[in-house]
Structure 1
Amino acid sequence: MLKLVFTDLDGTFVDTQKQVPERNARVLDLAAECGVQFVPCTGRNANGVLTDLANHPAVRYAICCNGALVVDLREDRVLRSAPMSNEQVLELYDRVRDLRVSFDVFINGKVYLERSRWEIPHEASGGDKATEKFFYSLRTPYDCSLEELLQRGPATKVTMLHPGNVDAPAVRAAAESVKGVEWTWSLPMNTEVANAEASKGAALTWLCGHLGVDVADAIAFGDGDNDLSMIRAAGDGVAMANAIPEVLAAADHVTSSCDEAGVAAYLEPILSAMA
């Protein structure tokens, strides 16, 4: 019986205009009535989870920073953390410092970008105003050294935006040269680096165990490379119609696109039968 729904946000639960389709919003209400919990799974920090979603009765837990954090949203408490070491962050920075990329460091719920690279998200957005607004809404500029920044707390993730994808191969090669980290991507113009023990799939498995739920009773929805691990880990992995080929191939089922409220389209008959 379905007990947990794990869903990616951008390109999955959220449409291409960064909005939650009304049909998806309604399916949250149906899930709450059936006692099914929704778990947002995102590359964002916990404070990047949409307010209406975070405050919904069906939502208590979130997987953030691509699995580096599992958070209890109601108690504002981190349940599981798998951060990068300072040495890994500094080594990665040294390997990409001369490339035209951002170097966004996720620390204590904030995303820090050095001021000298502040224009890069604008360039990476490619003129898409919704994407540019989204990029800057999450970032805070800093002027100190990276070493000083890391004194504020452990980095759960590093994201690098590479305008035009010119530097993407070099960025990913740099990430592969740092021991104990892995890279993934959620948008064509970015590379996301985290502790090798952090993935959405690992976090899904951990949270199921923490809550005493069999993974067979979990559904996961996703569209991007950073969703692959949880699509494979869940009892039912569901790809969006707009998913990348690798996710489509790994999924147990395929639903309609994020712009067609594919999450709701898949869940409505399941939840209606439970109501």
Structure 2
Amino acid sequence: MERRIKMIGLDLDGTLLTEKKELLPYTRQVLDKAIKEGILVLMATGRPFMGIPEELRYYPGIRYALTSNGARVLEIEGEKVLIEHLLPLERAKKALETLSKYDTLQEVYFGGQAYAPEDKMKHIGRYHHNPYMWEYLLTTRKPVPDIREFVEKQDRDMDKIQGLFADMEERDAAWKELSQQEGLALVGSLGYNIEINASGVNKGTALVELGRMLGIDREEIMACGDGDNDADMLREVGFGVAMENAIDKVKEAADYITVTNDEQGAAKAIERFALRGGELC
């Protein structure tokens, strides 16, 4: 019988990577098996392209990357942009103005690169509540003196905005205010952040759009995730897998709930449902 799964979209934080941001050997073995069997494996992340760990950004056999929650999808060789749904500049500036009312570390993503204010990066622990994320941010963000001034100078539409909050009550207030602005899609994959894309942008629609470009039906696409920005993806694809550590919203959207990311649940689900001899074969 022909294999059902031809493409697999994988979230990174809380899904493919452990809590310590590690890619473990068994997971590597399963990814290698899937690639060898001709399955298109790709990262489907809220991170910018340059925020994907290098070991995965240029993983042998991985040809595509879905980044910034689906705002930018690339063919990795040559970094050719296949799908681009950008946040219009004026809406982005208004959203940044709202975020600036609160105690936030604001990030802007342009062309696959994230930029953050250098003064706030010096106090990363105040805004990133997970210490395992600190090195990631400090090594992948380009510091700028003033984020809003930087955006003015760029004078172009962007992939995404992210605000990291010191105080959760302020996050709630900012979310309420931002949700009243037109043309924005809001998610919060970390629980203490707000990610802002153009309206209609999410991992699910981008993954299905890429599949269509490559001649793969949505029913032949599998996805694994755990956070707020993964719920649409699991609903959109043919077979959605939630991690045991996923939020309830994601579990409700899933066809199957695997074990936690620290137990390599994504790899176990791939082996069970996507590889030759698995349940969906």
How much does 1:75 deviate? 2.5
Correspondent of 2:191 among 188, 201, 209? 188
The yes-or-no answer on 1:149 pairing with 2:151 is yes
Aligned-pair CA distance for 1:216: 0.6
Normalization by structure 2: what TM-score?
0.92
Q: How does 1:206-217 map to 2 (within 5 A)?
A: 206-217=209-220
In 1, Cα distance between the equivalents of 2:144 and 2:61?
36
User: Which of the residues 266, 270, 275 maps onto 1:271?
Assistant: 275
1:239 equivalent to 2:242? Answer: yes
Residue 93 (structure 2) pairs with residue 90 (structure 1): yes
Are the aligned partners of 1:2 and 1:217 in contact in 2 as well (CA < 8 Å)?
yes
The corresponding residue for 2:24 is: 21
Contact residue 86 and residue 154 of structure 1 kept, 8 A: yes
Same amino acid, percent of matched pairs: 28
Shift of 1:140: 1.8
Q: Distance in 2 between matches of 1:122 and 1:36?
A: 39
Structure 1 partner of 2:141: 139
CA RMSD of aligned residues (A): 1.8
8 A Cα contact 2:127 2:164, kept in partner: yes
Shift of 1:198: 1.3
Cα deviation for residue 172 of structure 1 reads 0.7
**2:236 is equivalent to residue 252 of structure 1:** no
2:50/2:140 contact within 8 Å kept: no
1:33 aligned to which of 33, 36, 47: 36
* Mapping of residues 87-236 of structure 1, within 5 Å: 87-126=90-129, 128-144=130-146, 146-152=148-154, 153-236=156-239
162-171 or 78-87, which deviates more: 162-171
Q: CA deviation at 1:218?
A: 0.8
From 6, 12, 17, the counterpart of 1:3:
6
Question: Could you list the per-position Cα deviations for residues 65-119 of structure 1 after superposition, in whole angstroms to 9, with x for gaps in the alignment?
Answer: 0111111112211111111111111111222322101110111222112234334
Unaligned runs of 5+ in 2: none
8 Å CA contact 1:28, 1:58 repeated in 2? no
Relative to 1, partners in 2 of residues 1:13 and 1:148: Cα closer, same or farther, differing over 3 Å? closer
Distance 2:97 2:131 in 1: 31
Deviates more, 1:50-59 or 1:97-106: 50-59
Q: 1-side partners of 2:140 and 2:267: how far apart?
A: 27
- Decide which moves more: 131-140 or 242-251: 131-140
Confirm or deny: 8 A CA contact 1:101 1:167 kept in the other structure: no
Letter in 2 for 1:58: G
Letter in 2 for 1:273: G
User: For 1:260 and 1:67, how far apart are their aligned partners in 2?
Assistant: 27
Greater Cα offset, 95-104 or 226-235? 95-104
Contact kept, 8 Å, 2:63 with 2:75, in 1: the verdict is yes
Deviates more, 1:88-97 or 1:241-250: 88-97
1:72 pairs with 2:75: yes
Q: Which piece of structure 1 moves more, 218-227 or 102-111?
A: 102-111
Change (3 A) 1:121 1:171: farther
The residue matched to 1:98 in structure 2 has which SS?
coil
**What per-residue deviation string (whole Å, max 9, x for no partner) do you get for residues 148-186 of structure 1?**
534434211000000142311122123212210111011
Helix, strand or coil: the match of 1:75? helix
Gaps of 5+ in 1: none
